[in-house]
A and B are shown apart, each in its own frame.
Chain A
Amino acid sequence: DADVTQTPRNRITKTGKRIMLECSQTKGHDRMYWYRQDPGLGLRLIYYSFDVKDINKGEISDGYSVSRQAQAKFSLSLESAIPNQTALYFCATSDAVQMGHNEQFFGPGTRLTVL
């Protein structure tokens, strides 16, 4: 979805380096999410934010941190990257839950390789 962008799209780094993945959205949504996907598996939630002042841990937050700088931006950081953080990372957004619907809109993904 072009309304949700991720940078960089691909990144190769070395063990111990600090890495930041960025997500921006123009959908005006309050809620933003970071997921990782390993080969052959579904997406797992890392962190999520329901508004600028709200940060919540997901299923696999260890080794990651996030920053919600503005409604439109949500950054994921790996303070000291390790090889098992090699994965495909997705950002997603959703509007506040209304009318019984919770649809998330996903970015194109960032492929991160940690050597």
Chain B
Amino acid sequence: DAKTTQPPSMDCAEGRAANLPCNHSTISGNEYVYWYRQIHSQGPQYIIHGLKNNETNEMASLIITEDRKSSTLILPHATLRDTAVYYCIVTTTGANSKLTFGKGITLSVRP
């Protein structure tokens, strides 16, 4: 699976959009970009995933660059409850696919 690079931390103001970047320059054509988050030592929670098109769900939007070498997770209106570690993971969805977690990015939402 391709490796991902994320900044260690960032913060944003409550109510503002949080834009979390991720680099995955070695991504292969059959690899998806997944985002999970972990709130204070709880089990990680799936947020969103995509292959090459931008995706949006009730939690977030995922913007993938045209060359697929980087992506941005957008939380449109961050709340204090969005304070968490966010993991960007690149993986296939084949029969033996697994998730490889890096250190993630710690998002702190300030009041």
Contacts and interface: CB of A to CB of B under 8 A. Distances in A.
Contact of B97 (A90, A97, A108): A97
SS class, residues of chain B in contact with chain A: loop
Interface size class of A (residues with CB under 8 A): 20 to 34
Contact of A109 (B42, B93, B98): B42
Contacts of A41: 103
A107 B43 contact: yes
A58 B100 CA distance: 10
B98 A44 contact: no
Interface size class of B (residues with CB under 8 A): 20 to 34
A92 B32 contact: no
A42 B98 contact: no
B29 interface: no
Interface of B: 32, 34, 41-46, 49, 51, 87, 91, 93-95, 97-104
13 contacts: A4-B43, A33-B98, A43-B99, A43-B101, A45-B98, A90-B43, A97-B93, A97-B94, A102-B91, A103-B49, A106-B43, A107-B43, A109-B43
